[in-house]
Amino acid sequence: MPSLAGLFFWMNSKLENIKNLEVSKPLKLDCGKTINNFPLAYETYGKLNENKDNAILVFHALTGDQFVTGTNPITNKEGWWVTAVGPGKAIDTNKYFVICANVIGGCMGSLGPRNINSDNNQPYGLDFPVITIKDMVRAQESLLEHLGIKKLLCATGGSMGGMQVLQFCATFPEKTFSAIPIACSSSHSAQNIALNELARQAIMSDPVWDNGRYVLKNVQPKNGLAVARMVGHISYLSEKGMEEKFGRKLQEKADYKFSFDADFQVESYLRHQGYAFVERFDANSILYITRAMDYFDLSKQFKGGLIEAFKNQKTKFLIISFSSDWLYTTKENKDIVIALNASGADVSYSEFVTDKGHDSFLLDEPEFLKTLKGFIDSMHNKFKNEKRI
Amino acid sequence: MTLCTTNLKMKKEFKVIAELLPNNTRVLDVGCGDGSLMSLLKKEKNIEVRGLELNQDNVQQCILKGLPVIQGNAETELLQFPNQSFDYVVLSQTLQAFYDPEKVLKDLLRIGKSVVISIPNFGYWKVRAKLLFFGKMPVTKTLPNTWYNTPNLHMCTIKDLFSFCDEKNIEIKKVIGVNGNKTSLIKRGNLEIKNLFSKLGIFLIR
């Protein structure tokens, strides 16, 4: 493994080769500050057709990035949604033009706390403005303009990606024909805020973090960030799923070692996930992005609440939840359906029964993927006709 | 367990329902199955349809056809639909399968300006004859299940539904009896005879 300083250099040099849009239009953030001339890193798959009726915008989740499918050129691992997106997949890149941008606040090339602050020529660290889901979505809207797409066929994403879908539809009701928010919520629950706080506290209590100034020293609060990731991983699984996957199985040993090493497979799994994560993610980005999630409350943005947020929507929605997801529960997803119904929107809803927890949307869940494909294909037929008229 | 009759008869029933509904209206199909009726209403009458369906496979079928459907249980989840938010609410051959049909019916009348309900008629002569002559719970093409596996908890006749509507002050706008491919208008004057010879009763109420 290269040293962290080396790693950052290596990552930064790789980041130079990825698609990047310099957004010149000033973006006034919810916190009151304005950013301009900022980078927005993105990736596209497939081809935009002549009628421009096949564009799908995918929003990524907390620790995701723009590399939806294929091989991620930075990590050399598979894209995060390779199960659903790609040639011949549910979101078929032979047929559709798939776009995904790294959120602002992230660390895969879009403006984030690791970028250089032009005020003092040093990395932002905690001087980076606090951003919201709405800020992320508005930044990505510039990308559509850049790509010459007036109206998307579909906007989709799971978890925080789903929240961005909801925000996108509420802020730009004319910009997408259909929308699939998956396993998400219209306002972050107390439990989810608590879990995010746990992740942040883990990072901030690591002495290396040093109030976010670790970036100046080219180091990373590895231990804190790894613990933060472990918290996340627990919340993405379900009790039953964990029992099935790990049970009380021991890690490469016949008996307890009577120590605090990773005796159990589940411990070993968490440690592996935690420490693998520090190689690809920035600790300050986790602080900023989790904060954006916590601040997300779509009903608060509109006087009449959530119903008002979706008023006069022509967008066709498909809401999806998973039975064992305790992070973004079926109940929370149904609340979105109820609000959409109350505002008279065109909405479908389906719950998939699985033991795989919140992670389900990233996994090979055949019924879910079949529904995803069926909805997008039928929407494409309708959108084509609408465009023809 | 199947709630539905054979395909052919189903189509006749759906045709009758479609004829009852004016063009360009907003219709909620409660227990919409695989979306056959919704497809028909959308295509033939330019009706803005929405479906509610419990079964996952059926929900998927609707979505694949591009029909908006919400997976959920009509018994517990009609609350999500606002008052008078649809011109018509359709409930096809399901009323008798609810634990509390009265509550469901009340909800349907709250959501829709009018309601179309179809029921398998327990007063149909073959049904009566099976019970009378064989002393066993009737199993017919319209009612294919046996007593221990039937989803039909509250069987009723066309006449029963007439009385029920009168009792609850529900206005009956039109009732159509279906037997095979034949349909006929049911009025109070011919109720006794139609109750004997209709396999299905389709009520337009409000």
Asked if residue B111 has pLDDT above 70, the reply is yes
Residue of chain A nearest B80, judged by CA positions: A338
Cβ contact A29:A132 at 8 Å:
yes
Helix/strand/coil percent split, chain A, to 5: 45, 15, 40
pLDDT band at B9 (very low <50, low <70, confident <90, very high): very low
In the numeric block, the tokens 């009380």 are attached to: A248
Query: Which residues on chain A are in Cβ contact (under 8 Å) with B85?
Result: 341-342, 344
Answer whether A375 sits within 8 Å of B85, measured CB to CB.
no
Q: What does the alpha-carbon distance between residue A71 and residue B112 come to, in Å, rounded to a whole number?
A: 52
Query: Which residues on chain B are in Cβ contact (under 8 Å) with A179?
Result: none
In the numeric block, the tokens 């959920």 are attached to: B72
Smallest CA-to-CA distance from A283 within A76, A125, A52, A72 is with A125
Q: What are the sequence ranges of the domains in chain B?
A: 7-205
DSSP A316-344: EEEEEEETT-SSS-HHHHHHHHHHHHHTT
Helix (H) or strand (E) holding A276: helix A265-277
Domain B7-205, classified CATH 3.10.20.600, yes or no: no
Residue of chain B nearest A316, judged by CA positions: B68
pLDDT of the residue at B131: 93
Answer whether A341 sits within 8 Å of B60, measured CB to CB.
no
Query: Which residues on chain A are in Cβ contact (under 8 Å) with B80?
Result: 334, 337-338, 341-342
Residue of chain A nearest B68, judged by CA positions: A348
pLDDT of the residue at B11: 77
pLDDT of the residue at A6: 53
Answer whether A371 sits within 8 Å of B63, measured CB to CB.
yes
Is A304 in CB contact (< 8 Å) with chain B?
no
Chain A contacts in chain B segment 114-143 (CB below 8 A): none
Asked if residue B70 has pLDDT above 90, the reply is yes
Superfamily of domain A4-189+297-388: Alpha/Beta hydrolase fold, catalytic domain (3.40.50.1820)
- Using CB atoms, which residue from A349, A353, A377 is nearest to B70? A349
Answer whether A378 sits within 8 Å of B71, measured CB to CB.
no
Asked if residue B8 has pLDDT above 70, the reply is no
In the numeric block, the tokens 């998307």 are attached to: A152
Q: What are the sequence ranges of the domains in chain A?
A: 4-189+297-388
- The tokens describing B105, both together, are 């019916």
- Residues of A with catalytic function: 159, 325, 358
Query: Which residues on chain B are in Cβ contact (under 8 Å) with A153?
Result: none
The pLDDT mean for chain B works out to: 93
Query: Which residues on chain A are in Cβ contact (under 8 Å) with B82?
Result: 341-342
Q: B45-59: per-residue pLDDT in tens?
A: 999 999 999 999 999
Is A239 in CB contact (< 8 Å) with chain B?
no
Q: What is the CA radius of gyration of chain B?
A: 16
CA of A184: how far to CAs of A68, A100, A285, A293, B22, in Å? 18, 18, 20, 11, 38
pLDDT of the residue at A9: 56
- The tokens describing A53, both together, are 């009726």
- Other CB atoms within 10 Å distance of the CB of residue B16: 17
Cβ contact B158:B195 at 8 Å:
yes
Mean per-residue pLDDT pooled into runs of 10, chain A (389 residues)? 52 77 96 96 98 97 98 95 98 98 97 95 96 98 96 98 98 97 98 98 98 94 98 97 96 92 96 96 98 97 91 94 98 96 94 98 98 98 87
Q: What pTM was estimated for this model as a whole? A: 0.93
Is A314 in CB contact (< 8 Å) with chain B?
no
Q: What one-letter code names the amino acid at A341?
A: N
Cβ contact A236:A347 at 8 Å:
no
